[in-house]
Amino acid sequence: MLLVIGFGVLLRMLRNLRQNTVLEWSNETLNVPGRTVELPLVGTNMIMTDNVDNIRAIMTTQFEHFGKGDTYRKIWSSLMRNSVLTTDGQAWQDNRNHLVAHVAKIRPTDYAVTERHSQSLVKVLSDGQPHDTLDLLNRFAIDVVSDIFYGTSTNTLVSNDQSLRDAIQQHKDRNTWRNLLSGLGALLPPNVKACETIDSYLDGVLRNFSPEQSESLEERDRKASSLLGDLAAQGVAQSILKDQIISVIVGGRDSVAIITTWALYELVRHPEILHELRKEISAGIDPSTPINPAQIESFVFLNRVVLETMRVHTSVGINVRTALRDTSLPTGGGADGTSPVGILAGTNVIMGLDSVHHRKDIYGPDANVFDPHRWDSNSKPDTWTYYPFNRGPRSCLGKNLAIMKVKYALCRLLQAFSVIEWLKKADGKLVVVDVDKEPAMKTKMAFNTKPADIVWLRFAK
Ligand code: HEM
């Protein structure tokens, strides 16, 4: 028997979703013995947990019992096709096998690619105007992954054509609502025009992919040894190639932009931390030479800033798995919250990962405070209480590349600009925020968990 949260609480959940306080709500709702509750939703069974033993079971020990499920696949395959991001079982394993050799490692040339797009980012930000930081970092992230994985960058930082990004966003906006409606949402159509734009982009990538026509030998080799070059040379079917390309575009874009944006936001709000980080970076690298892996590795404080950003602002703060068979969770049931919980096939289990990251019994009374120094005596987070990339067989394939991209962009931005100001809209104008008085920004739950408002930052040399 599991604690069932009443109908009134469900209405509160929807209200919190609208008010961008759903993460606070989930943390509060889970503050019960066993940290596991059942949410009564019409037409679907839904359980929410931030119990570490249950999360470990879903991610590892009972991995095969849980997956993305049919409804998720029906809704999201319109964007993410039959890729690693939507499939389960053997289809998922096949996709992961296609990607692993390329996505899980960083090639030496990936640093040069990241450098090139970091310089474009710096150039765009050098105009002295406030910028929607998440939007620009999103462009940076897609430009880097497209360049690395198929050798032709989307170059959205230097182009006026944002049609691919717009199509992905329109798609996500529609599908986020379809997702909320669960089985019913799967019956509603996706954004057809956005589907066409994305499909024709993928066709173009395959049609124009030709390492032999590169401008230099270096470029030819880089393209030929990219994810696409390698799979095409193996004779992998066109439709499967498209699945792999879309998975790196969608998987490799938003989270990098979200984490880098939150990191800049926290640095601006904490001038003493920004100062300490600037000191470490300026002592370690020269602005005019590319950053090498050993230099990035040597930045101990930068690492703590990124670890802490991903704890406080988990970009996949809530992750849902569907039970693929009748099963159980090891704990969280009964009056004292220690009995196993029976789970019927088709039940959606919401993992409150952001909620774990804010648990005071795990991270201490200051769990809600952004403090990179909490990692001073413990630079390796505990496997089962820290999950920005998830854990187990389905954890993020691009983790190393992701961390490199976030750190690289932060290094270059802090080197290039000595002033970063946070602005907000007031009376139709953008005004500089007094960081001591401004309340913290809320987090919006959509496809990812991201800043609820635009993070306007202005950079100056
Ligand atoms: C800071 C940046 C990033 C974060 C926080 C992040 C986090 C995550 C998380 C939490 C998942 C699991 C999603 C789920 O279960 O539904 C995931 C999956 C994945 N990520 Fe990342 N990611 C980041 C960047 C990247 C990058 C740069 C790539 C490179 C292309 C990438 C590729 C993938 C792929 C392919 C998967 C699917 C793995 C699977 O289902 O087997 N990610 N990521």
What does the pLDDT look like over 278-288, one tens digit per residue? 999 999 899 88
pLDDT at 182 over 80: no
Is 1 a member of any domain?
no
What pLDDT, on a 0 to 100 scale, did the predictor assign at position 74?
92
15 pLDDT more than 70:
yes
Mean pLDDT across 353-360: 96
Domain, as residue range, for 322:
7-460
Gap between the Cα atoms of 379 and 385, Å rounded:
14
Protein residue with least CA distance to atom 21, ligand 1: 396
Q: Torsion angle, CA of 87/91/92/95, rounded to 10 degrees?
A: -120
User: For 368-395, what is the mean pLDDT?
Assistant: 94
DSSP bridge partners of 448: none
Contact 157, 144 (CB under 8 A): no
pTM: 0.95
Does any domain span residue 305? Answer: yes
Note whether 145 and 253 are within 8 A (CB). Answer: yes
Is position 247 within any domain? yes
191-228 confidence digits (pLDDT tens): 999 999 999 999 999 999 999 998 899 989 999 999 99
pLDDT the model gives residue 23: 87
For residue 431, the tally of other CB atoms under 10 A from its CB is: 12
**Model confidence pLDDT, tens digit, residues 32-47:** 999 999 987 656 788 9
Q: Using a 6 Å cutoff on CB, does residue 398 contact ligand 1?
A: yes
φ/ψ (deg, to 5) at 451:
-55, 135
Two tokens, residue 39: 């949410």
Q: CB of 67 closer than 6 A to ligand 1? A: no
Does ligand 1 have an atom closer than 6 angstroms to the CB of 455?
A: no
Return the percentage of the chain with pLDDT > 70, whole number: 97
pLDDT confidence of residue 7: 61
Predicted local confidence at residue 1, as pLDDT: 52
Q: pLDDT value at position 5? A: 57
Read off the pLDDT of residues 291-347 as tens digits, 9 standing for 90 and up.
999 999 999 999 999 999 999 999 999 999 999 999 999 999 999 999 999 999 999
Q: Please, what is the average pLDDT of the chain? A: 93
The pLDDT of residue 10: 66
**Ligand 1 pocket, mutate which of 357, 396, 399 (most atoms under 8 A from CB):** 396
Would 370 be classed as within a structural domain? yes
Closest atom of ligand 1 relative to the 247 alpha carbon: 35
With a 6 Å cutoff on the Cβ, whether 396 touches ligand 1 is yes
Domain of 306, CATH number, reads 1.10.630.10
2 located within any domain: no
Question: Total structural domains in the chain?
Answer: 1
Q: Which two tokens stand for residue 397?
A: 């394939």
Per-residue confidence (pLDDT) for residue 175, from 0 to 100 = 87
